[in-house]
């Protein structure tokens, strides 16, 4: 991906920091400070206030929602160092990134790598401005962990395909404008018979049925395709190359999800502060319950170790110019820690941490309950923990199947 050169001098960095600050002051509405909703990605669109719309527009025009994407396609064109400064300054100002979703996290980077020029010009700028919502058409009822078993079929009709079949667990399918899907174009081979297609969700023959989750939200769907016409111009890569492209997209998904735990974490008080509030503090200001104190410390230490590992992976990848092998553990470890934190938080708050709705609970407590439940999915989607462990054991450690 093309990026600008690293700023050569500290003065360059300082200057950039000053520019960012100035821009944020001018463009980030103070009324939105700290009002980010960690669950917004899974809750679907809500009515934007004029401030929120203005903020999204400003970030979109600047390209800073996707800071390291190339400028020519509407990205920010920033170096990694600059992007880091942007993130720091945004955090300092209580600002957040209003541009996200699957387009940003996984589809955009994949298309930048595998798409043709027309496809990039058509899709990337709209993603960078936060104007188009994408959903992921991968899983099917009998193709979850075993994704290559997918059966949804695209028949070649010359200048277009006709798609028939079903996808499931399609996150945000009911709100999405477009779907990146992997479909079967050849029934005689498994991986080699898969093709990567872009499907307009408002095409005739596309039907979505939302499914309610245990957290009470309905962010994912069963998606049915009946004789859906997809122009060949919407095929990414060659026919039969879909498995390779689809897997690259999954790498982006996993990389993003490894930070999933941290993104779902409520900003605000630490576990220890919450524990002092609910379980009390002793005369020296320590969490009164020694068992809880030890477990909070264990979690915090694990979390620090995880962050250090994520940083090490980044540094190593940069040094070798490829993906560090250690990166494959980030998703499993990060999601596990995210779940453990949510469980701890509930335990600390006692029954107050399990409120569903209505009187007697704060907004944060109610969100905590939903977040805890939703978070159970993080070790399932994007390649479950078990599947990640299989990959680590076989591909990295060289351990073999027992059959």
Partner 1 sequence: MAVLTEEQTMLRDMARDWAENESPVSAWRKVRDADEAMGFDAGTWATMAEMGWAGIIIPEAQGGSDFGWLSLGLVIEELGKTLTASPLAASAAAASAILLGGSEEQKAKWLPRIASGELVATLAVDEGPRHDPAGVAAKVESGKLSGTKAFVAEGDSAGLFVVAAVDGLYLVEAGAGVAVSRRHLADFRSHAEVAFNGAAADKLAGGGANENGGLLDAVLDRAAVLTAAEMLGMASAAFDTTLAYLKQRVQFGQVLATFQALQHRMANLYSEIELMRSAVEAGLAAIDGGGDTRQAASLAKGKANEVGHLMSRELIQLHGGIGMTDEYDAGFTLKRMRVLEQMWGNTAYHRDRFARLSGY
Ligand X SMILES: Cc1cc2nc3c(=O)[nH]c(=O)nc-3n(C[C@H](O)[C@H](O)[C@H](O)COP(=O)(O)OP(=O)(O)OC[C@H]3O[C@@H](n4cnc5c(N)ncnc54)[C@H](O)[C@@H]3O)c2cc1C
Q: Which is nearer to partner 1, 203 or 390 (CB)?
A: 390
DSSP state for residue 394 in the 8-state scheme: I
Which of 240, 390, 391, 392 touches ligand X (CB under 6 A)?
390
189 is an interface residue for partner 1 by CB under 8 A: no
Minimum distance, C-beta of residue 401 to ligand X, in the bound complex (Å)? 10
Catalytically annotated residue among 82, 89, 140, 253: 253
Whole-angstrom distance, CA of residue 388 vs CA of residue 238? 28
381 is an interface residue for ligand X by CB under 6 A: yes
343 assigned to active site: no
Cα 27 off chain centre by = 25
- For residues 137 and 98, is the Cβ–Cβ distance under 8 A? no
Which of 283, 360, 363, 400 touches partner 1 (CB under 8 A)?
360
- For residues 150 and 140, is the Cβ–Cβ distance under 8 A? yes
- For residues 76 and 67, is the Cβ–Cβ distance under 8 A? yes
376 is an interface residue for partner 1 by CB under 8 A: yes
Crossing angle of the two packed helices 290-320 and 271-279, in degrees rounded to 10: 170
Minimum distance, C-beta of residue 387 to partner 1, in the bound complex (Å)? 9
DSSP state for residue 140 in the 8-state scheme: B
Whole-angstrom distance, CA of residue 132 vs CA of residue 259? 23
249 is an interface residue for ligand X by CB under 6 A: no
Minimum distance, C-beta of residue 136 to ligand X, in the bound complex (Å)? 4
Closest CA to 198 of 177, 217, 213: 177
Residue 256's SS3 state is: helix
Q: Which helix (H) or strand (E) holds 123?
A: helix 117-128
Which of 27, 151, 324, 390 touches partner 1 (CB under 8 A)?
390
Residues 80-119 that bind partner 1 (CB under 8 A): none
Which of 159, 284, 291, 363 touches partner 1 (CB under 8 A)?
291
Q: Which is nearer to partner 1, 37 or 149 (CB)?
A: 149
Give the strand pairing for 220-231 and 178-184: unpaired
Which of 32, 213, 326, 329 touches partner 1 (CB under 8 A)?
213
When CB distances are held under 5 to 8 angstroms depending on the partner's kind, the choice from partner 1, ligand X, none that residue 216 binds is partner 1
142 is an interface residue for partner 1 by CB under 8 A: yes
Closest CA to 179 of 218, 216, 225: 225
Minimum distance, C-beta of residue 150 to ligand X, in the bound complex (Å)? 9
Question: 160 has which bridge partners?
Answer: 231
Closest CA to 175 of 111, 221, 125, 212: 221
Task: Write out the catalytic residue numbers.
Answer: 253
Residues that bind partner 1 (CB under 8 A): 139, 142, 144-146, 149, 168-169, 211-214, 216, 278-279, 289, 291-292, 295, 339, 343, 346-347, 349-361, 369, 373, 376-377, 379-381, 384-386, 389-390, 402
Residues that bind ligand X (CB under 6 A): 135-139, 144-145, 169-171, 220, 377, 380-381, 384, 386-387, 390
């Amino acid at each position: 991906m093309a990026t600008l050169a690293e700023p050569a001098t500290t003065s360059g960095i300082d200057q950039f920091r000053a520019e960012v600050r100035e821009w944020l002051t001018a463009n980030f509405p103070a009324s939105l400070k700290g009002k980010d909703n960690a669950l917004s990605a899974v809750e679907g669109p809500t009515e934007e206030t004029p401030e929120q719309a203005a903020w999204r527009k400003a970030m979109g025009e600047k390209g800073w929602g996707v800071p390291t994407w190339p400028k020519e396609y509407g990205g920010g064109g920033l170096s990694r160092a600059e992007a880091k400064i942007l993130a720091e300054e945004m955090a300092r100002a209580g600002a957040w990134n209003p541009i996200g979703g699957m387009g940003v996290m996984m589809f955009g980077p994949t298309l930048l790598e595998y798409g043709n020029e027309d496809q990039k010009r058509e899709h990337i700028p709209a993603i960078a401005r936060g104007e188009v919502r994408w959903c992921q058409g991968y899983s099917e009822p009998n193709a979850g962990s075993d994704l290559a078993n997918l059966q949804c079929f695209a028949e070649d009709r010359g200048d277009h395909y006709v798609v028939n079949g079903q996808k499931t667990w399609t996150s945000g399918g009911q709100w999405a404008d477009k779907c990146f899907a992997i479909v079967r174009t050849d029934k005689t081979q498994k991986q080699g018979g898969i093709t990567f297609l872009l499907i307009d969700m408002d095409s005739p023959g596309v039907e979505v049925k939302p499914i309610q989750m245990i957290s009470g939200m309905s962010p994912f769907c069963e998606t049915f395709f009946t004789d859906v016409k997809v122009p060949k111009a919407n095929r990414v890569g060659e026919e039969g190359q879909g498995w390779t492209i689809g897997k690259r997209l999954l790498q982006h998904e996993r990389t993003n999800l490894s930070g999933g735990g941290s993104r779902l974490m409520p900003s605000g008080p630490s576990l220890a502060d919450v524990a002092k509030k609910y379980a009390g503090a002793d005369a020296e200001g320590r969490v009164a319950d020694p068992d809880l104190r030890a477990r909070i410390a264990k979690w915090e230490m694990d979390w620090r170790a995880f962050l250090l590992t994520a940083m090490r992976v980044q540094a190593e990848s940069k040094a070798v110019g490829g993906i560090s092998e250690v990166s494959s553990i980030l998703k499993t470890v990060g999601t596990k820690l995210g779940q453990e934190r949510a469980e701890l938080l509930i335990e600390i708050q006692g029954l107050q941490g399990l409120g569903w709705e209505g009187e007697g609970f704060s907004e944060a407590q109610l969100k905590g309950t939903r977040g805890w439940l939703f978070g159970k999915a993080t070790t399932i989607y994007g390649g479950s923990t078990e599947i990640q462990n299989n990959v680590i054991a076989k591909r990295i450690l060289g351990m073999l199947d027992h059959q």
